[in-house]
Structures are given as structure tokens and as C-alpha cells.
């Protein structure tokens, strides 16, 4: 029985990390459903973007108040979790504050003291985040797509942080020997008096309970990330590294269209030729995208990385003028459809079985797509370099080139360009009349 706590701790650690690894494999599998795209060029620039944007939070501080709060939570999350290393060693070895006996008392006091200060700052920051979402009711958090689970998810993670920070401080405050040493307790020393009058046995029980719930809470939090928008904690780094480095106004040519044009221009090509015996029939590539498998893997990575912060939607001119388009919803819908496809594959032994649904129309309506002005404001605003516009443009291409379903105004413009060489409905000979003096 002496080693029972260590065995239970090891089992909890194995289960927690094992479940996390299993979910990460599913995540990787889902992202790889997308088409291949090469993002291995310009490695120094990509590394710089990752360090500045994901690690340095350079785009977050464009909105100073929320940006500073986010940095506090982000830095606190990283620094405080260094303490988890000591907890893991203590849990497996049956020791207590093992680092205190290994490193210099001054260094240990500085580390634990820093952890406590950040725990307090994170506690305050997440309370302010909760207030902004649930009391102040900031407009970008009140959109239609933020009802139900998205709103609850944001609050759940706040409650997680509050509980974890509280448990850490209570754990320190009820550690009698730690408090008697008087080192590394700049915050917990003010909490310790709340437990005056408790017996040493009761304080030990509270400390051990807080310790266990704290580490189990961290393992639960780790696995909750897979089901939450807070997956960006992990994915922001690859997402910023693999982001598109081309100028924002530059659109790519569709390879499928290029192949078709080359085929049409080849005098020796016979588009109607039957495949030779033994050759596989070549299925023409789809123009644009109607479902998640038509998008590239970076776009699917974007969908999983979306923080649902709404900065993109709050800067979208179409949304600001009352149009149905919300770039945030585009990313959320893409992720939801991708998750649905992943569950379909899981339930059909690794093979996707047509479910009669697709991203276009079942999740994202043509009305939303055609409301976009392609101004790139959403791309510029995103704090982790997500590109909703690329998905919108690929789905527009499908509507135009596969379904001939462009809006009437756009069809008229394209007809005028084809017939008159200009978007306007008048003869080419009259194109320069505007320059003549009356």
C-alpha cells in the first residue's frame, strides 16, 4: 500500500498522455485529408513569423487591453507549467518538492515565487476575460455563431484556469513546511491565514487534495484542448510557420485549370480519347472546393487553429454593413465539417462513406461567399495568420466553374468583358468617350 499513490499517479499520467497522443493522431489524420501544398520555401522568413507572431504575440497587442491580458495568461501558462515537472517527479518517485533539495534555496524561492505571482496575475486576467464575455457583452462575442457550445467552451476554459490557479496557491498555502521556510511564497503567505486553526493533519489533507486535483486538472485540460477552440495553444506555432507568404492581394492559379487549358491548346491531344487497356481512367479534377477534402492541408490547419476571437469578423466590411458573411463562421464551419468527416471515417473503419453532405450549402451558403469583398481585412487582423479568404475564393471558384452559379450581376459583367472588353455594357468603340471634351 505504500506505493499505491505512486502507482495511481503513473496510471493517471499514462492514461492522460496516451489519450492526448491518440487525439493528436486523429487531428493529424484529419488535416492530411486536405490536398498537398508546398510550404517549405523561405524557411528563415517562416521561422521569423513563428517567433514574432506565435511566440512573441506581436499581432495580439494591436488591441492593447485584450492583448496584454492574453500575454499574461499565455506567459503564465508557460511559466507555471514548469512547476508541473516537479509535480510529475514527486508523483512518480514519492518525493515532496524534490527540486528544493536539489537546487539552491534562493533559486527555488525565486522560481516558486515567480509561479505564484503569475498564478495571481492569470487569475485576475481570466476574471477580466470572463467579465468581457459575460457582463460587458462585447459585440464580437455576441454574434450568432457564438451561441451555445462556442460561448460555453470559452467560459469552460476560463473556469479551468481559475480552478487550476486557485489549487496551486492553496496547495502552497497549506504546505506547512513551505510556509515556515518563508521563501517563494509572496502570494500564498496571504492565503495561509485563512487556514489558521486547522490541525496539521487537516492541512496535510487539504494540501494533498489540492495537489492531486491540480495535476489531474492539468491532464484533463490537456485532453480538453482537442475538443476546444483552445487547440490554438498548440497549433498557433505550425500555423504561423506554414502561413502564405505571398502578397495578400495575389491569388494563385488553379493547377486543374492550367492542365485543362494546356490540353485545349495541344493540337495533338484528344480529350475524348478512351484510356488504353490496362490504364486507369483519369477523373477530371474538380475546379475549386465544395467540401473539406477539396481544400489544402494548410487551410484545414487554419480551421483547427481558429481561436474564435472574432477580430476578423469585427474588421470585415461586409459584416459591418449587415451582410451575412462572418469570416470567423467560415473557419468554424470548416472545422465542424472536418470533424464530422473525421467521425465518419472513425465509424467506418478508416474509410469515408458519402453522407450526402458537403461544406458548401450544408454549412456555408453562397450568400455568405458572395458577400466577401476580398479585401483581406480578415487575414490582416488574425492574430495567428489564418486565411479565411482563401477558403472563400476556392468555394467561389467551384460555384462559378462547376455549377455556373455566379450571381446575375457577375455573369453580366463577365459577358460584357467577353463581348466588349470592359465590364460595362457598351461598344468597344465608345470606351474612351468619357475623355472627350463636351
User: If you search the block for the grid coordinates 508546398, which residue do you land on?
Assistant: 38
- Local confidence band at 437 (pLDDT 50, 70, 90 cut-offs): low
pLDDT at 433 over 80: no
Helix residue ranges, H only, 95-194: 105-134, 149-173, 176-181, 188-191
**Fold designation for 255-272+284-424:** Fumarate Reductase Iron-sulfur Protein; Chain B, domain 2 (1.10.1060)
pLDDT at 269 over 80: no
| 83-96 per-position pLDDT tens digit | 899 999 999 999 99
Domain ranges for the chain, please list them: 4-31+63-241, 255-272+284-424
Which contacts (CB < 8 Å, 24+ apart) does range 385-388 have?
A: 385/49, 385/53, 385/59, 385/239, 385/240, 385/243, 386/239, 386/302, 386/305, 386/306, 386/312, 386/331, 387/243, 387/244, 387/299, 387/302, 388/302, 388/312, 388/327, 388/328, 388/330, 388/331
**Which helix (H) or strand (E) is 20 found in, with range?**
helix 4-31
What pLDDT is attached to residue 281?
54
| 181-233 per-position pLDDT tens digit | 888 899 999 999 999 999 999 999 999 999 999 999 999 999 999 999 999 99
Mean pLDDT of 260-272: 74
pLDDT at 121 over 90: yes
Could you give the CA distance from residue 27 to residue 29 in angstroms, rounded to a whole number? 5
CB 415 within 8 A of CB 304: no
Strand partners of residue 364: 360
| Mean pLDDT rounded to a whole number for the chain | 91
Query: In the chain, pLDDT over 90 holds for what percent of residues?
Result: 76
pLDDT at 311 over 90: yes
pTM value is 0.90
Helix residue ranges, H only, 255-387: 255-265, 297-305, 311-315, 317-320, 327-347, 359-362, 366-371, 377-381
What pLDDT is attached to residue 273?
63
- Local confidence band at 436 (pLDDT 50, 70, 90 cut-offs): confident
pLDDT at 240 over 90: yes
pLDDT at 410 over 80: yes
Q: Residue 311: CB partners within 8 Å, gap ≥ 6?
A: 63, 140, 381, 382, 383
Could you give the CA distance from residue 239 to residue 234 in angstroms, rounded to a whole number? 9
- Local confidence band at 272 (pLDDT 50, 70, 90 cut-offs): low
pLDDT at 51 over 90: yes
Highest CATH level, class, for 4-31+63-241:
mainly alpha
Amino acid at each position: 500500500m505504500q506505493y499505491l499513490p505512486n502507482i495511481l499517479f503513473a496510471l493517471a499520467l499514462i492514461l492522460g498522455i496516451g489519450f492526448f497522443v491518440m487525439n493528436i493522431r486523429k487531428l493529424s489524420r484529419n488535416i492530411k485529408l486536405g490536398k498537398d501544398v508546398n510550404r517549405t520555401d523561405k524557411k528563415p522568413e517562416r521561422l521569423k513569423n513563428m517567433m514574432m507572431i506565435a511566440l512573441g504575440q506581436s499581432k495580439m497587442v494591436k488591441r492593447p487591453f485584450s492583448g496584454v491580458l492574453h500575454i499574461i495568461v499565455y506567459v503564465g501558462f508557460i511559466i507555471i507549467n514548469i512547476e508541473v515537472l516537479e509535480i510529475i517527479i514527486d508523483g512518480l518517485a514519492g518525493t515532496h518538492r524534490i527540486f528544493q533539495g536539489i537546487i539552491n534555496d534562493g533559486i527555488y524561492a525565486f522560481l516558486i515565487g515567480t509561479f505564484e505571482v503569475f498564478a495571481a496575475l492569470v487569475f485576475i486576467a481570466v476574471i477580466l476575460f470572463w467579465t468581457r464575455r459575460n457582463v460587458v457583452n462585447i459585440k464580437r462575442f455576441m454574434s450568432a455563431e457564438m451561441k451555445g457550445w462556442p460561448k460555453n467552451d470559452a467560459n469552460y476554459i476560463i473556469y479551468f484556469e481559475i480552478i487550476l490557479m486557485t489549487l496551486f496557491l492553496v496547495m502552497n498555502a497549506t504546505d506547512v513546511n513551505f510556509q515556515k521556510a518563508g521563501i517563494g511564497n509572496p502570494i500564498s503567505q496571504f492565503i495561509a491565514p485563512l487556514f489558521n486553526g486547522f490541525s496539521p493533519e487537516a492541512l496535510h489533507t487539504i494540501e494533498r487534495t489540492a495537489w492531486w486535483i491540480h495535476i489531474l486538472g492539468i491532464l484533463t485540460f490537456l485532453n480538453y484542448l482537442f475538443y476546444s477552440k483552445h487547440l490554438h495553444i498548440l497549433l498557433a506555432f505550425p500555423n504561423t510557420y506554414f502561413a502564405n507568404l505571398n502578397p495578400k492581394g495575389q491569388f494563385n492559379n488553379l493547377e486543374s485549370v492550367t492542365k485543362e487549358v494546356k490540353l485545349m491548346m495541344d493540337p495533338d491531344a484528344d480529350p475524348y480519347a478512351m484510356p488504353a487497356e490496362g490504364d486507369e481512367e483519369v477523373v477530371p479534377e474538380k475546379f475549386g472546393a465544395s467540401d473539406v477534402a477539396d481544400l489544402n492541408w494548410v487551410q484545414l490547419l487554419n480551421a483547427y487553429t481558429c481561436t474564435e476571437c472574432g477580430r476578423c469578423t469585427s474588421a470585415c466590411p461586409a459584416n459591418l454593413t449587415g451582410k451575412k458573411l462572418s469570416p470567423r463562421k467560415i473557419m468554424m464551419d470548416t472545422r465542424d465539417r472536418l470533424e464530422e468527416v473525421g467521425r465518419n471515417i472513425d465509424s467506418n473503419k478508416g474509410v469515408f462513406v458519402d453522407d450526402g453532405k458537403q461544406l458548401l450549402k450544408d454549412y456555408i451558403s453562397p450568400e455568405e461567399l458572395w458577400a466577401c469583398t476580398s479585401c483581406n481585412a480578415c487575414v490582416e487582423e488574425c492574430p495567428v495568420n489564418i486565411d479565411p479568404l482563401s477558403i472563400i475564393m476556392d468555394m467561389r471558384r467551384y460555384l462559378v466553374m462547376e455549377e455556373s452559379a455566379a450571381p446575375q450581376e457577375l455573369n453580366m459583367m463577365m459577358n460584357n468583358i467577353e463581348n466588349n472588353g470592359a465590364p460595362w455594357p457598351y461598344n468597344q468603340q465608345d470606351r474612351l468617350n468619357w475623355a472627350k471634351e463636351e
